[in-house]
Every structure is written in C-alpha cells, then in structure tokens.
Amino acid sequence: MTSILDSLVKSFSSFNLDIAVILPVVTLIGGTVIFLIMAVNALVAVYFERKISAFMQDRLGPMEVGIFGFKGGKKFWGGIGQTLADAIKLLVKEDILPNNADKFLMILAPFIIFTGAFLTFIGVPFAQNIVISDFNIGIFYIFAMSSIGVIGVILAGWSSNNKWSLYGSMRAAAQIISYEIPIGLSLLLVVLVTGSLHLGDIVQWQADHRWFIFHSPFTFLAFFIFYISTIAETNRTPFDIPEAESELVAGWMTEYSGFRWALFFLSEYANMLIVSIVASIVFLGGWLSPLQIFNIFPDSWLILDGPAMGLFWILFKAVILIFIMMWIRWTFPRLRVDQLMYLCWKIFIPFALVNLLFVSLWELIF
C-alpha cells in the first residue's frame, strides 16, 4: 500500500530538491488535507444531524440560510448554508475567558483535543492507497492517538474553574478511559485472527476470507461491543453524560465559546468519522464492495468492485454507521453515571474477554 505522503515525496524528488525542503512541504500538504477533511466533515455532519433530528422530531430543521442565494429544496436541502453561517459566526464571536480561569490551560485544552483527532487521521485509510501515511502498526496507532483527547477534556474541565465543567471532565475521563478497554479488546481479536496490525493487511485478509463481522458468531458480537463502545467514546447519547445538558449545563464545555468551542465541535464530529471508518475497515470489509458477498450479480456489475470504488464504499459504510449513531442519539434517554460504568466494567469487558478466548478456540478448531 502506498500512502499519499510517499507518493508526494516521490514526485517532488524528481525536481532534484533537498529532502530537508521536501519534507516540510509534503507534511504541510498532508496536514492541510486532513484539516480540510475535518472541516468539511463537520460542516456536512452537523447539517445532516440537524436535518435527521428534525425529521425524527416532526420539524423541518434549518430552512432559511442558503449559499449565494441558493436555498436548496423545500424540505431536505433547505437551509443548506446553515452550518457554514454557524461556522463563520463562531469564528468572529467574542473571545470569552472567565476571570478566575487558568488561562494558559484553558487556551491549550481545545488544541490538545483537536491534535488528538488530527493525528488520528494520519493513519486512517480512506481507500486502498488513499491514506496520509501508511503505518504497519496502523490500528495500534489509531487506538493510541484517539486517547490523547481525554487529556484535553480533563484540562478543559479543570482550567475553566467551574463546578459543572469539573464534573463534566471527571465524568468524561472516567468514561473515555473505561470504554477504551472493550474497544481495545475487540480490536485485539481482529489482530489475533489476521496476525497483523496493518489496516491494509486486515482488509486483504477479509478479501481473502470473508468480512470480519460474518467470520464467526464471536466476531459478530465483537462488532456490537466495539460499536456501542465507540458511541460512548465519542460522548454521544445515550452515553453523553460528560456534557449532559439537562444535568451539567454543558459539562466540560460550559465556559467555552467561539473558536475554541468550534474546535471541540470539529473534533467531536471528526472522532465520529474516525470510529465509523475504523469500524467499517476492521469489521465491515473496508473498501471491499458489499456486492462481492453475493455472487448473484451479473459480471457487468463487478465494475463496482474495482479499486476506484474503494473510497465510495468505505464512506458509504461509514455514513450508514454515523446515521445509526444519530438515530440512536435522537431516540434514547441518557444513562446514569453508575449505569454507564456498570455497562462497561461488568458487561462489555467480561464479554470481550470471553469473546477473545472463544475466537482463539474457533481459530484453533476451524
């Protein structure tokens, strides 16, 4: 698998430039690409979240703001420019820092959270060769980098000097750290079977055998443990206790506004995209076409299987997973703190551990 950075370096090398010049330029290009992905993802995802929630609640959602006078349709695409307008509003908003806040940490915290999401994107493949940098420990790297954000959450809650923020950050720390364990165990199971930490190898394994979710009953279970845990990891309802707006006002984000708050938002939706893509790569066959499973289609349709379609399929799967996350969010009430911990430590972790054992046995037997 070649990565974007590799091919960029290769093409720049033809200009006979020093590697010390090429590397910063290439890194800058890669970083800009990631930032654009995050920004566009947030713009689109927020719009969809608003519209989906609106239709679930018998409303219309944003209907007024268009882009350059283009207002979209009468229903779904009406108000298409709303998130863009909101983004501009957030960027030009007055910058508020509470008097008694720890200003250095308070300014630092959003950037740490943003960095966590940003760094994770480096290792996330969007298709066969579309990945910023191709790690041979990709899955481990993504798992490690996505844990950085929690430091920012704790800092944000502590530095705000607000009791609600403190509560929110304590809850978030406990929740995010706890739910990393079932996620890690579910991913470990995949690594155990494929024998590789490389995401490309994992997808190749699935191309040779079958999608992981259909591999055995235990991997089927592991997918759901993984998926539910990632909802908790991204702090979404029914696991949104860190920001629980009816209890903690806005949790650890209470004192933030403007650009810094926008960074939180950007990272939240970036994390949603990351976990959905990882779930589709690891369990749902990544950039493989779902049509491959069924051999009933005529040969002319197999054009949909080609490598060019990889990006489409992976985003298709990720968007479905994101939609289910939104669906869950706008349907369920919120769990209580202790129930959340109970679910993690007494249900998910034992199940994931036993799962690991049974998958090993399954591999021995079959």
Partner 1 sequence: MEEQAIDKSVLETGEMILNMGPQHPSTHGVLRLKIHTDGEIVSKIEPVIGYLHRCFEKHCEKLSYEQIVPFVDRCDYLASMHMDHAFSITVEKLLDIEIPERVEYIRVIIAELQRIASHLVALGTFGLDVGAITPFTWAIRDRERVLDLFEALCGARLLYNYIWPGGVSHDLPPKFVERTLEFLDYFDPQMDEFNNLLSNNKIFIERTADVGVLPAEVGINFGVTGPSLRGSGVNFDLRKNEPYSIYDKLDFDVPLGKGTMGTIGDTWDRYYVRVLEMRESGKIIRQACAQLPDGDVHEAIPKKIRPAVGEVYGRYESARGDVGFYIISNGKNIPLRVKMRSPAFSNLAVLSEIAEGWMISDVIAILGSLDIVLGEIDR
Count interface residues toward partner 1 (CB under 8 A). 28
Is 22 near partner 1 (CB under 8 A)? no
324 near partner 1, judged by CB under 8 A:
no
Is 49 among the residues that bind partner 1 (CB under 8 A)? no
To partner 1, the closest distance from the beta carbon of 104 in angstroms equals 22
Residue whose pair of structure tokens reads 């654009």 in the numeric block: 36
Site for partner 1 in 244-283 (CB under 8 A): 244-249
Contact between 339 and partner 1 per CB under 8 A: yes
Q: Minimal distance in Å, beta carbon 2 to partner 1? A: 45
Q: What are phi and psi of 71, to 5 degrees?
A: -100, 0
336 binding partner 1? (CB under 8 A): yes
210 makes contact with partner 1 (CB under 8 A)? no
DSSP string, 60-128: ----S--BTTB---SSSSTTTTHHHHHHHHHHTS-----TTS-HHHHHHHHHHHHHHHHHHHHT--SSS
Single residue of 237, 254, 271, 355 touching partner 1 by CB under 8 A: 237
What's the closest the beta carbon of residue 337 comes to partner 1, in angstroms?
A: 5
DSSP class of residue 348 equals: I
Cβ-contact 231, 239 below 8 angstroms: yes
Closest to partner 1 by CB, 187 vs 340, is 340
* CA neighbor of 281 nearest in space, from 202, 187, 188, 186: 202
Q: Is 335 in the site for partner 1 (CB under 8 A)?
A: yes
Q: d(Cα 313, Cα 317) in Å, to the nearest integer?
A: 6
Beta carbon nearer to partner 1, 30 or 251: 251
Interaction between residue 346 and partner 1 (CB under 8 A): no
| 117/42 Cα distance (integer angstroms) | 12
Backbone CA torsion sign across 127, 129, 131, 135: positive
Query: Which residue number, 142 or 241, has a Cβ lying nearer to partner 1?
Result: 241
43 token code pair: 């713009």
Instruction: Name the residues that contact partner 1, by CB under 8 A.
Output: 53, 56-59, 163-164, 167, 237-238, 240-241, 244-249, 330-339
